[in-house]
Amino acid sequence: MPLATAPFSTAILQWFDQHGRKHLPWQQNKTPYRVWISEIMLQQTQVSTVIPYFERFMQRFPDLPTLAASNTDDVLHQWAGLGYYSRARNLHRAAQMVMQTFDGHFPDNLEAMQTLPGIGRSTAGAILSIAFEQRATILDGNVKRVLARYLSITDPVNERSVEKSLWETATTLTPPTRSADYTQAIMDLGATLCTRTKPQCTSCPLVTTCKGHAEGIAELLPRKKATREIPTHIATFLILRAEQSILLEKRPPHGIWGGLWSLPEISGTPNKKLIHELCEQQLHLNIKSFTALKSFRHTFSHYHLEIHPVMVPTQLPAKIMADTDQIWYNPNQPAAIGLPKPVQLIMRNLP
């Protein structure tokens, strides 16, 4: 199908003028900072989920200098529950880099913007078009889906050659004017009509020229290379409680839940010997008993985690060594620290 740039963008923009989303929080009082925060939060996360997080984040960090001057625990605390925590750590690092390297001014060109942690080509394109009104290309999951269906691309979209072709197509179709509206429009189209399942083709402004719809295969697209079944890992989480306080440990800065505060963890299902060894060697606690609580599953992008919470009552809080990343945390008087969603769930359901 030959690309008709003007009809494609015109149809999408006309639809956007009537049906597009124009009252999202980050579309109000629009600044590069607010657009940047929203675009990072929207990576792999739905708009409805992001809205309350964005509003709370803006209340706590209303501008870039405030975010840059904050500590990582505070940033992760505001992010807790939104997932993909490397995004929050990258936001914090990028804010500090803008203050130090760019004199507090958010960069307004593609190359400089991509030097900031957490900003790739598509996110940079979205920020440039929405915040700076520049003609810039995006290719997020929504746009890939729209283009794969519109052009009936049956090859896997996660193959390098196909993605390269999609970038070229997306660039060609991006109009020279109304860049911010077009970027929002094509994202909205993928999020509200050209959805992953049950696309509303009859309401789509591209229905008369969509090759995938004409061939009756729109719902089958886009295709991806088969991925292997994700594995399941098993872990025992120790709830060491003394009076109203629970022992938490800070996780390493990288990896799953990097920089967040979590419960002491043992690989595998509850094991009396290992639990006793951990308590004695790390906390110098002689525990007498423990109670297994209901296990549950938490899913990451690349594996399932089967969590077995174990309640371990102790006496008065043991003294914590100065060189350890451990704290006694009172859920009734919570400190401003980042907690993984499963740990929040365990805290809420403590007997």
**In the prediction, which pLDDT does 349 show?**
87
**Which residue reads 């052009």 in tokens?**
151
109 Cβ contact list (under 8 Å, min separation 6) = 128
According to DSSP, residue 301 is labeled S
Bond before 175 cis per omega within 30 degrees: no
Q: What is the pLDDT of residues 286-310, one digit of tens each?
A: 777 789 999 999 998 889 999 999 9
Range in 139-153, 245-259, 323-337 with the lowest mean pLDDT:
323-337
According to DSSP, residue 197 is labeled S
**Which residue reads 């923009």 in tokens?**
13
DSSP 263-285: --EEESS--HHHHHHHHHHHH--
Asked if 282 and 274 count as a contact pair (C-beta separation under 8 A), the reply is no
Asked if 153 and 222 count as a contact pair (C-beta separation under 8 A), the reply is yes
Given the residues 39, 163, 168, 229, select the one marked as catalytic. 39
| Short-list 290, 297, 304, CA closest to 345 | 297
Tokens of 139: 């290719």
Q: Which residues pair with 296 in a beta bridge?
A: 307
Q: Which residues pair with 104 in a beta bridge?
A: none
Q: What is the pLDDT of residues 89-144, one digit of tens each?
A: 999 999 999 999 999 999 999 999 999 999 999 999 999 999 999 999 999 999 99
Asked if 245 and 329 count as a contact pair (C-beta separation under 8 A), the reply is yes
Is residue 13 pLDDT above 60, yes or no? yes
Longest dimension (CA), the chain: 74
Backbone angles phi, psi at 319, to 5 degrees: -70, 130
Question: Catalytic site residue 39?
Answer: yes
Q: Could you tell me the pTM of the whole model?
A: 0.85
Is residue 4 pLDDT above 70, yes or no? no
What is d(CA 17, CA 22) in angstroms, rounded to the nearest whole number? 9
Reported as type and span, the H/E element at residue 41 is: helix 32-41
